[in-house]
Structure 1
Amino acid sequence: MKSSRRSFMISAVGLASSLVLSHESSADTTLVQESDANAQALGYRTDASKVDRAKYPKFQAGQACANCQFFQGKAGDATAPCTIFAGKQVHATGWCSAYVKRA
């Protein structure tokens, strides 16, 4: 139950953020930098193979932004908007602790 509550809260925050910033066009978005405060708080890495497994033990091989429900791109996109990082794009090969497997 704790996991679904967490997923719901992350979804709600992501949705609210994307609604607030919906006026921005995707062409104007920038890539999330690992040094961004929000990215650091969520353990975002542009390359999922570099995730600190000691700090994020729930990370599993195969998890990446491209197969996360918050990734707004199509299959094969190298980068795409992410509802967690509203107004910014993430690398398809990236990962953060908000990861939820796409259904």
Structure 2
Amino acid sequence: MKPVPNPTKAKMRAQRRTFLIALAAAGGFVSMTDSFAQATLDEKDPQAAALGYVTDSSRADARKYPKHDNGQLCNGCTLWQSKPADATGSCALFAGKPVNAKGWCSAWSKKA
């Protein structure tokens, strides 16, 4: 003789399964959002230092870069790949490392 299935036990298994699936999905979402929240480019980064990158254009070394002008900002550069109003954005030179919109580096070129 077969045992009679317990409907309460079956319902608990289904709820547990649903809970575990939801938990796994939430964990993946949190992991994914953390990867998007990257730290901005550090001025001490070797590539940034080689190009004289600063997070604030007014702090660029005037002696080393005499053609620099305080109006030259990352968000006005041809290499800027984000919206002009964004506080940080992507630069073609520093892939995967957001740069400050008010920053500057020696590769700056006026956006046409």
2-structure distance, mates of 1:82, 1:31: 11
TM-score (norm 1): 0.71
Post-superposition Cα deviations, 1:39-83, rounded to whole Å, max 9, x if no partner, equal 100000000000011001111130010100111111210000111
2-structure distance, mates of 1:61, 1:36: 22
Aligned residue for 1:78? Answer: 87
2-structure distance, mates of 1:39, 1:70: 14
Q: Computing the radius of gyration over CA atoms, which structure comes out larger, 1 or 2?
A: 2
Cα offset, 1:29, TM superposition: 4.0
SS of residue matched to 2:98 = strand
CA RMSD for the aligned pairs? Answer: 1.4
Q: What pairs with 1:56-95 in structure 2 (closer than 5 Å)?
A: 56-95=65-104
Which one has the bigger helix percentage? 2
2-structure distance, mates of 1:59, 1:41: 16
Mapped contact 1:30–1:87 kept (Cα < 8 A):
no
Tell me, which stretches of 5 or more residues in structure 2 are unaligned? 1-34
Aligned residue for 2:39? Answer: 30
Aligned length: 78
Q: Which piece of structure 1 moves more, 88-97 or 53-62? A: 53-62
Percent identity of paired positions between Structure 1 and Structure 2? 50
